[in-house]
Structure 1
Amino acid sequence: MSSLTKNYFYNILGLLTGLLFPFVTFPYVSRVLMPEYLGKISFVQSLTNYFITLALLGIPAYGIRELSRAKVSRDKNEFSKNFTELLLISLIASVISFVIFFILVSLNQKLGDIKNLLYIYSFQVIFAFLNLDYFFIALEKHKRRTMRTVVLRVISLGLILLSVKVPSDYIKYGIILVFPELLARIIDIYLCKEYIFLNFKELKFKKHMRPLFTIFLYVFSVSIYVNLDATMLGFMKTESEVGLYTTGSKLVRMVIPIMSVLGTVMAPKIIVYIKNKEKDKIYDTIDKFIDFNIIIGIPATFLMVYLSKDIIVLISGDKFMASNLTMKIISTIIIFLPIGTFFGGQVLLPNDKENLVFKVAVTGMICNVAFNFLLIPKFSMEGAAFATAFTEILICLYRGYEVKKIYTDYNIVTKERINYLILGFLSFIGIFLMKDLVGENSLYQIVIFSTIYGVIYFGGLIFLKDKNIDTILKKIKLKKESVL
């Protein structure tokens, strides 16, 4: 098994448990906490994320690039120095962010019963410097990190089922979400000793400051428009609406990591290809990521839109039916968000386009803030959903345009990708015409319509002899022959 396949397997395993965890817990938690108390958790998370972003200072994105480059040079001493410098910078940033967070929460008298919850989440801020995912990604060491995550998620699941029984247990739920994550970070710092040593000799922080500051501004801008919808809903509307909105959003975003994981696995390799200017390999890597996302993303988008009501009823219950339209609107980001993120983090940043990436993020942030201010007062959570969808689509197109300017002979829009969209739409029409043939049971509708859609969509790709599907079928055939 190749290193890419192994890394993808372990990342998929981590993501599947990450998807399974909310898929198992969310139906339970949403029915216990109801929109109001679930909204309190979501509102606190959106506020805390700003300070976590400040504490991380853009190091997760910057660290992958710098450590991947240092790894290629095979200079272990230089690699250790870079890692030590980044760890210390992040430690200082985490302390500063925590102090600001603690002061603001302590002085604010309007936070009411969520203040204690904010204090609990403050631990995520002070320990943010222990987020070492960039270190393991750069080294392409995914196995132990994944297994650690799986074990902690199983423990968290057990604690939630045992401890969260009534709406007032939302504080317990917050604790269970926070502290296993902190334990994971502590395990990470222990595991990294096996691969590296900290080097405190002749540390040079200055060389990191300018690119880090630019990347931080980019990441912080992204953080603003990613969390702004829930934050503004909490301030302008009610916590119940935050709970309804985040339910629709979360159900959509549960799908996105499946597609994004390929970009995480490919990150160290494409950084090396870009550094060595191996254009053919760069294009091949981009092709694999985009094709994979579109092939999976198109059916996921159409099915999420068509089955949103049934998905909400099955997972969250009738009390959350008001988030139906919100979920339909946000479903449009399933394809655009992963591809836009890949263009920014895995193509533009390795090409040293920090200023450009920041410019794109600021453009998205301004659009998102403007649309939220205009739409939330009148359209509430549906307005926030539209602002989010529009921003993600705009950013993806903007980043794609900038990637095209760098690689002028690379084709983002191809005949095959247009075929995926046409087949996806035709498959949607197919299940729409059959809507009266299936009963009203939500689980039954999800299974039947997903199956019919898949048969039409992937059957069409096989009929058209799509190169990606053809490659997969040939690999399956070879494996069967080798077994026989």
Structure 2
Amino acid sequence: MPAFRQESALYTICSAAVVLNVIGVNWVYQALEEYSYITFVSVLFKVLGLALMFLLVRNSGDVLWYGLVTVVSSFGSAIFNFLRLRKLIDLYPCGNWNFRRHLYPIFTFFFMSVATTVYTNLDTVMLGVMKNNEVVGYYNAAIKIKIILVTLVTSLGTVLLPRLSYYYEQGKEKEFLSLVSKAFSFVLLFSIPCCIYFSVYAKPVVEFLSGPGYLPAVAPMIILMPTILFIGLSNITGIQVLVPTGRETLVLRSVILGAVVDFLLNLILIPSLGASGAAIGTLCAEFAVTLLQFWYLRKLLTTIIRSIEFKDLLIMLLVSIPVIWIVSNLRMSKLFCQLFISAVVYFGICGLVLLALGEKIINSIIKRILGLLLERN
């Protein structure tokens, strides 16, 4: 395609991410639950990427440097992972391989990854083809905020997956259900307040992070906010429940449904609505994935839902929503001050309400922090 061919140098730089992702074997360290190492290396390269961004990216003509910095910050840790792998396993031709038993699950996960990648990136690609780079720029300004929040919500799933797999293999059903229930509570308590806050403050957030020229990104951002909740929930039902219990083919079916829904809605809505149409397509795709996975797990979810403290969530929302409405009407000259004060007040109120109600997850976090402080003293 001519539009892609014009950016061949940028695509060549970014394609290094494919190789780095393969040799990075991050899944090995996740399976061994070496999260302190993963976090350290990831933060190290994120800081390096931030420093390089300020040093190398000065204007719109530095797009190639921007691509290189993005690859380094996101995938540079793969080199460390590969070199450190020698401390964990011996790399040598062992022979007598039995690939056949692994082929079915490997291809299931492969197609699952392909389908997920298609429907999570299809909106941007179709926007570029059916509209222009300007619209893609507005949409990406909304997407990057969503990605940050989704990463925070789904990070718990990465940590819990090895433990959930262990509980299932050992037949520890009670511990398995308890951990899944806590994951649901975490997603609900974190994602719903985030959806509300970033919907109310969509305009100042976009203006602060991307500049006043990106205000057309406000509407797509508001439309995309509920996807934080849907992705958080489907991450639990899919990655934390269906995969450990050996039903990854059901996850594959759900993400294929999401890809089809996203493609069809993008085809219909992008010509008339542009970035907002792509956002609607993504929202409906994520909802479809979540809904289908909920249907597959309807019996199990009936048991889990009973243990979730919806009353605490409802009271938190009834108290915090009027607070954010009042704070949003306060006019401040500095965007940073407006966002900082509103975030501290709103999320502070949410935390205090849950603490006062004795919500289990908040109490366990507070106890853990106090325990660490006492140990140091």
TM-score by length of structure 1 reads 0.72
Identity %: 25
- C-alpha displacement of 1:117: 1.1
Residue 240 of structure 1 corresponds to 134
Judge conservation of contact 1:273–1:279 (CA < 8 Å) in 2. Answer: yes
Residue 399 of structure 1 corresponds to 293
Secondary structure, in 3 states, of the residue corresponding to 1:201?
A: coil
Residue 201 of structure 2 corresponds to 307
Q: Distance in 1 between matches of 2:358 and 2:143?
A: 35
Q: Distance in 2 between matches of 1:478 and 1:219?
A: 40
- Structure 2 residue 41 is matched with structure 1 residue 153: no
Residue 330 of structure 1 corresponds to 224
What are the within-5 Å matches in structure 2 for residues 424-435 of structure 1? Answer: 424-435=317-328
Paired amino acid for 2:31: A
Distance 1:198 1:421, change over 3 A: farther
- Structure 2 residue 237 is matched with structure 1 residue 343: yes
User: Out of 284, 305, 311, which is 1:412 matched to?
Assistant: 305
- C-alpha displacement of 1:155: 2.6
- Structure 2 residue 364 is matched with structure 1 residue 467: no
- C-alpha displacement of 1:474: 4.7
- C-alpha displacement of 1:125: 2.8
User: Out of 178, 187, 204, which is 1:293 matched to?
Assistant: 187
Residue 58 of structure 2 corresponds to 165
Residue 178 of structure 1 corresponds to 71
Judge conservation of contact 1:298–1:421 (CA < 8 Å) in 2. Answer: no
- C-alpha displacement of 1:466: 2.4
Residue 221 of structure 1 corresponds to 115
Paired amino acid for 1:195: L
User: Out of 322, 325, 339, which is 1:446 matched to?
Assistant: 339
What are the within-5 Å matches in structure 2 for residues 5-404 of structure 1? Answer: 108-179=1-72, 183-199=76-92, 200-404=94-298
Paired amino acid for 2:344: T
Paired amino acid for 1:349: V
Distance 1:165 1:354, change over 3 A: same
- C-alpha displacement of 1:329: 1.1
Q: Distance in 2 between matches of 1:235 and 1:119?
A: 20
- C-alpha displacement of 1:111: 2.8
Paired amino acid for 1:302: I
TM-score by length of structure 2 reads 0.91
- C-alpha displacement of 1:394: 2.5
- C-alpha displacement of 1:475: 4.9
- C-alpha displacement of 1:411: 2.5
- C-alpha displacement of 1:184: 2.5
Judge conservation of contact 2:108–2:249 (CA < 8 Å) in 1. Answer: yes
Please give the per-residue CA displacement for 1:420-441, whole angstroms capped at 9, x wherever unaligned. Answer: 1452254123321443333353
> 381-390 or 391-400, which moves further after superposition?
391-400
- C-alpha displacement of 1:133: 0.7
Q: Distance in 2 between matches of 1:128 and 1:482?
A: 38
Please give the per-residue CA displacement for 1:86-114, whole angstroms capped at 9, x wherever unaligned. Answer: xxxxxxxxxxxxxxxxxxxxxx4443431
Query: Number of residue pairs matched?
Result: 376
Paired amino acid for 1:133: N
Secondary structure, in 3 states, of the residue corresponding to 2:162?
A: helix
User: Out of 453, 456, 467, which is 2:349 matched to?
Assistant: 456
Please give the per-residue CA displacement for 1:170-214, whole angstroms capped at 9, x wherever unaligned. Answer: 012112222465543222111011011135221122211112112
Paired amino acid for 1:205: F
Q: Distance in 2 between matches of 1:475 and 1:176?
A: 36
Distance 1:413 1:428, change over 3 A: farther
- C-alpha displacement of 1:313: 1.3
Distance 1:252 1:440, change over 3 A: farther
Paired amino acid for 2:128: G
- The answer for unaligned runs of 5 or more in structure 1 is 1-107
Distance 1:254 1:409, change over 3 A: closer
Q: Distance in 1 between matches of 2:288 and 2:314?
A: 19
Q: Distance in 1 between matches of 2:52 and 2:233?
A: 36
Q: Distance in 2 between matches of 1:371 and 1:156?
A: 36
Paired amino acid for 1:139: L
Distance 1:114 1:346, change over 3 A: same
Distance 1:183 1:398, change over 3 A: same
Please give the per-residue CA displacement for 1:357-410, whole angstroms capped at 9, x wherever unaligned. Answer: 1111111111111111111111110111111112212212322332333x3662
Q: CA RMSD in A?
A: 2.4
- C-alpha displacement of 1:481: 6.8
- C-alpha displacement of 1:257: 1.6
Secondary structure, in 3 states, of the residue corresponding to 1:167?
A: coil
- The answer for unaligned runs of 5 or more in structure 2 is none
